[in-house]
Amino acid sequence: MMTAYPKLLFLMPTNSIIWLEGDGNYTRMHLQDGKYQSIPYTLKYIANKLPDFVRIHKSSLINPVYVQELTSRGYQDYWVKLSSGQVLSVSRKRIVQTATKLNLPKP
């Protein structure tokens, strides 16, 4: 699936996006080729445009296609490991929602 962003001059295939990182009024897209692209939209705006992606933290949105595992590193300390090798923190308030959307048991 291709996602078009208004006022931007490119189309981005969603399967090339591994995860997105919010940074104020910008979002950094971490891509499959190891590069990243910053776009002038909030993470909240992008999350509404990409309903299949999973919001794991106030500043992180992941593509479930690239999730390898959901793990716990102690009391209420959860992490998602992506196929790129990246390990991202899952907020306590989003752990149940994350496990449900990923069809994984809560660790």
Residues 6+ apart with CB under 8 A from 79: 70, 71, 72, 73, 87, 88, 89, 90
Average pLDDT of the chain is 88
Residues 6+ apart with CB under 8 A from 6: none
For residue 13, what pLDDT is reported? 85
What secondary structure does DSSP assign to 21-50, as a single string? EEETTEEEEEETTS-EEEESS-HHHHHHH-
Q: What is the rounded CA–CA span in Å between residue 7 and residue 98?
A: 31
pLDDT tens readout for residues 40-77: 999 999 999 899 999 999 999 999 999 999 988 877 78
Does residue 6 have a pLDDT over 60? no
Q: What is the rounded CA–CA span in Å between residue 38 and residue 83?
A: 21
Does residue 1 have a pLDDT over 60? no
Question: Which of the two residues, 31 and 13, has the higher pLDDT score?
Answer: 31
Tell me the pLDDT band of 9, cut-offs 50, 70 and 90. Answer: very low
